[in-house]
Structure 1
Amino acid sequence: MSHLLAHQFLDDRAIPYRVQTFSPDTEKGAANVAQALGFRERQMIKTLIFVDAKRDEQVLVMLGGDQNAISGHLKKAIGSRNIKLAAPEVVLATTGYAIGSIPPFHWQPEGFRTFLDAALMNEPEVGVGAGVWGHEIILTPQHLVEATSAIVVNLTEPNP
């Protein structure tokens, strides 16, 4: 297997991870990756790019595969009411990757904001795309935060 840019990024920072592979014929989606690799769906992370039209800013939001962000929590975290999921061509232009296996690190310019749902910090390990469908990077949530400089915030739990 070739050494991918996402692997090099982690190696350069001495962030521990392991690589797992699954059949490239696996249907897209976190649930399918989780099943193929023997994880719970929550542990396979969705990397979503949102656009804040007002500020002309893209942000990366990481959620568990079985989670959806609560709109109000997301708007509060990003600091804008005017956000929407980026169109596939915007995602490709922003990250260099097509939707489906976007690594959550190595492509961001300085100052690019990244958010990780706080519930994921309770997982022993999580998986993120490596940039090539069929390759998954497995690491602890703490190492993911280190790699992405993510802001850890509650995006999915209703407020008590």
Structure 2
Amino acid sequence: MSTHDGTAAHPRFAEALRELGLDVPVRRFPEATRTAVQAAAAIGCGVGEIVKSLIFQADGVPVLVLMDGSSRVDVERVREELGAGAVKRADAELVRETTGYAIGGVPPFGHATRTRVLADRGLLDHEVVWAAAGTPHAVFPLDPATLIAHAGGTLVDVRERLA
């Protein structure tokens, strides 16, 4: 059971949508959609149609990576892409500081600070993708090209290659 409700989005994210002139149906779920698997089950879509907005640290500088829910980020490929010395997943505190949102609800744009954004090319394989709307209970659909454009993302190949 989901509700279509503009107030379902985190207030900061709702404001970002307004500023961008984006009218998207934010869907709120009583059960958490914190993980890609949970979100896909709630929405009734494939896990690959979920966008994970992940914060990494490249030489201590936050970077946002947008990845489809069925793939994992290859930190070595991110490191090469950025020409960084070391890349690692950001901790919960840095995620909140950088984005203004908690892990599990981080949207692809509308963040507290501007960061470098890498978007995995695989997202374009889908007509529509679903991303967090600022809380672990709310998601919204958008075509991937528009989502990546609003996020200011650079298209890259940073998914883990399957052996």
Task: Name the TM tier (shorter chain).
Answer: 0.7 to 0.9
Q: Distance in 2 between matches of 1:154 and 1:30?
A: 20
- Which residue matches 2:125? 122
Task: Report the residue type matching 1:48 in the other structure.
Answer: L
CA contact (8 A) 1:16 1:139 kept: no
Which sections of structure 2, spanning at least 5 residues, go unmatched?
none
Equivalent of residue 146 in structure 1, options 122, 137, 149:
149
- Which residue matches 1:132? 135
CA contact (8 A) 2:77 2:157 kept: yes
Give the secondary-structure state (helix, strand or coil) at the position aligned to 1:121: helix
CA contact (8 A) 2:116 2:153 kept: yes
Answer yes or no: is 1:102 the counterpart of 2:109.
no
TM-score, normalization: structure 1? 0.86
- Cα–Cα, structure 1 residues 28 and 15, in superposed 2: closer, same or farther, change >3 Å? closer
Q: Distance in 2 between matches of 1:122 and 1:16?
A: 23
- Which residue matches 1:14? 21
- Cα–Cα, structure 1 residues 35 and 134, in superposed 2: closer, same or farther, change >3 Å? same
Q: Distance in 1 between matches of 2:93 and 2:113?
A: 18
CA contact (8 A) 1:95 1:108 kept: yes
Q: How far apart are residue 123 of structure 1 and its match?
A: 0.6
How big is the alpha-carbon RMSD for the aligned residues of Structure 1 and Structure 2?
A: 2.0
CA contact (8 A) 1:128 1:138 kept: yes
Q: Distance in 1 between matches of 2:13 and 2:149?
A: 14
Aligned ranges 1:1-150 → 2 under 5 Å = 1=5, 2=7, 4-23=11-30, 25-26=31-32, 28-53=34-59, 56-110=60-114, 112-150=115-153
Q: Distance in 1 between matches of 2:93 and 2:160?
A: 30
Identity score, percent: 27
TM-score, normalization: structure 2? 0.85
Task: Report the residue type matching 1:45 in the other structure.
Answer: V
